[in-house]
């Protein structure tokens, strides 16, 4: 704007100069002009050039007429019942000209033969539904609220339901809390595009429910949403789902498979607990946490890959997954919590990734098919009963750095024949090797000062053992019912409670 204003001033000055007969120049002077600036033409304005005379005056001249628009054609999109559209419009390839004009959503369906002619949404079963207006927004400046509908069942005997996205010209925003809870005859649910929220326990205890359509507009599956839907065999979760609430699919005993969408960051408490028909599960790289009991008693689940995005696995997360044969654990998990894989009786081998520091109480208890376990050097603590009743485990090496074999760690490992204990060890806990009936020999490192109550009880194949002179205390019944055992003691004096051992 400043440049054009400056050019106009120069033009006026040049005109005045010419009107006065170039008063500033001497009579014998001949003007010598030099072009100092050019302004190219645009779609709506002319092209001009600025000239400087040798006498110091400026003037401008028109070089070109306006170019006019170079129109580009664009197709329109009709507005639908709940989405806006636009008319066919033009833009210019040279400038920012546009004739774009939006068309607002119609917010009204036109049903014919059971379907809307504009958006193809099926006609809802309005007589079976109860609608309530709720506030969904607040304009602070105007102090005005916007309203939409919440919907729930009008009868517990409802069998099929189509939940609309619009009602009386307003959006249907949510499925209310407990909306269809206890609808024992409900078999089919169709949720229309545009419904945004699903309340807690929305479809809990619907034992006949078999088919559910969830639209992309739903961003989360609420807590207890499908708890106890025992006839539900499959469900497709839209990609927009970012959260799955606690116990959302608990006791869905017919559910066979489910894909957790990318974007979900946490699998909540008891989410899939007792889904006894679930055979496969895909955990995306977006998941950072698997909480307590998330997959407990998924007794048909055969394989699980826990991606590297997962940093925490909660207590009993996969407890009693009795068909689980293949397991891959995230490299970024630092602790396996208590009872995490307890009762996974089909699991044959486990590789604990380097980086795990702790293994919680009874983490692999009752894994009766487990034959081999690889423990990395990063593991510094293994809690009580971790491998109790792993009756197929044949051998194991405890990495250096361990100070304690905890209580009942290998109790009931009836196939265990070989154990390598580290030199860092100072203590063997209560019942640590109780009922290891195949164990024939074991070397207790010099440095162990304490052997707990019943530590080697009923090790019936143990033939000899050397008690190093570092041992200062042994509790009662350490070697009771070790019928073939010969004990060699390096200590010059009997350890405390030796006679009771």
3-state DSSP: the chain helix, strand, coil percent, rounded to 5? Answer: 5, 30, 65
Distance CA 223, CA 214 (A): 16
CA triple 72-76-82, angle to 5 deg: 150
The residue ranges of DSSP E strands in 207-333, in sequence order, are: 211-213, 220-221, 243-244, 257-259, 266-267, 280-282, 289-290, 303-305, 312-313, 326-328
Give SS3 for 282.
Answer: strand
Instruction: Give me the tens of pLDDT residue by residue for the chain, a chain 501 residues long.
Output: 444 444 444 444 454 444 444 444 444 556 777 777 888 899 998 888 888 787 777 777 777 889 899 999 999 998 888 788 999 999 999 999 999 999 888 777 787 867 788 788 777 777 789 999 999 888 888 888 899 999 999 989 999 999 999 998 899 999 999 999 999 999 999 999 999 999 999 999 999 999 999 999 999 999 999 999 999 999 999 998 999 999 999 999 999 988 899 999 999 999 999 999 999 888 999 999 999 999 999 999 999 999 999 999 999 999 999 999 989 999 999 999 999 999 999 999 999 999 999 999 999 999 999 999 989 999 989 999 999 999 999 999 999 989 999 999 999 999 999 999 999 999 999 999 999 999 999 999 999 999 999 999 999 999 999 999 999 999 999 999 999 999 998 877 777 766 665
Task: Specify the pTM.
Answer: 0.76
Contacts of 332 (CB under 8 A, 6+ apart): 308, 309, 310, 311, 355
**H or E element in which residue 6 lies:** helix 2-19
- Per the CB < 8 A criterion, the answer to whether 411 and 435 are in contact is yes
Q: Is 142 left (phi over 0), alpha (psi -120 to 50) or beta?
A: alpha
């Amino acid at each position: 704007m400043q440049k054009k204003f400056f050019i106009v001033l120069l033009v006026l000055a040049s005109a005045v100069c010419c009107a006065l007969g170039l008063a500033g120049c001497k009579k014998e002077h001949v003007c010598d002009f030099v072009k100092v600036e050019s302004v190219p033409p645009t779609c709506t304005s002319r092209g001009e050039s600025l000239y400087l005379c040798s006498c110091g005056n400026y003037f401008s001249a028109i070089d070109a007429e306006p170019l006019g628009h170079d129109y580009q054609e664009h197709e329109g999109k009709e507005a639908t019942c709940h989405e806006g559209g636009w008319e066919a419009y033009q833009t210019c390839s040279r400038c920012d000209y546009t004739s774009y004009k939006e068309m607002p959503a119609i917010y009204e369906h036109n049903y014919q033969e059971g379907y809307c002619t504009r958006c193809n949404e099926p006609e809802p079963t309005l007589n079976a539904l109860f609608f309530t207006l709720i506030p969904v927004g607040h304009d602070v400046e105007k102090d005005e609220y916007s309203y939409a509908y919440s919907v729930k069942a009008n009868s517990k005997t409802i069998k099929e339901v189509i939940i609309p996205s619009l009602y009386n010209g307003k959006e249907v925003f949510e499925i209310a809390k407990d909306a269809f809870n206890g609808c024992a005859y409900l078999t089919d649910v169709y949720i229309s595009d545009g419904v945004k929220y699903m309340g807690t326990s929305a479809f809990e205890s619907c034992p006949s429910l078999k088919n559910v359509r969830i639209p992309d507009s739903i961003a989360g599956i609420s807590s207890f949403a499908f708890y106890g839907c025992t006839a539900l065999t499959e469900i497709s979760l839209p990609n927009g789902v970012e959260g799955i609430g606690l116990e959302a699919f608990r006791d869905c005993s017919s559910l066979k498979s489910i894909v957790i969408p990318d974007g979900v960051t946490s699998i909540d408490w008891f989410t899939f607990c007792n889904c006894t028909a679930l055979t496969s599960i895909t955990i995306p790289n977006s998941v950072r946490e698997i909480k307590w009991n998330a997959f407990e008693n998924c007794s048909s689940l055969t394989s699980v890959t826990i991606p590297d995005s997962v940093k925490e696995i909660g207590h009993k997360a996969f407890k009693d997954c009795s068909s689980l044969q293949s397991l891959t654990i995230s490299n970024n998990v630092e602790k396996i919590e208590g009872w995490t894989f307890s009762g996974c009786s089909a699991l044959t081998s486990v590789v604990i990734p380097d980086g795990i520091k702790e293994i919680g109480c009874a983490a692999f208890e009752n894994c009766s098919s487990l034959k081999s376990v690889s423990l990395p050097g990063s593991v510094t603590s293994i809690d009580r009963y971790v491998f109790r009743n792993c009756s197929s485990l044949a051998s194991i090496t405890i990495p250096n750095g361990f100070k304690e074999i905890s209580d009942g760690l290998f109790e009931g490992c009836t196939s265990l024949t070989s154990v390598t204990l580290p030199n860092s060890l100072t203590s063997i806990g209560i019942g640590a090797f109780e009922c290891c009936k195949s164990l024939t020999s074991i070397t207790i490192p010099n440095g162990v000062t304490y052997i707990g109550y019943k530590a080697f009880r009923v090790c019936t194949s143990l033939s000899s053992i050397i008690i190093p002179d570092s041992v200062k205390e042994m509790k009662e019944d350490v070697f009771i019912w070790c019928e073939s055992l010969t004990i060699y003691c390096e200590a010059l004096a009997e350890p405390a409670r030796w006679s009771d051992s």
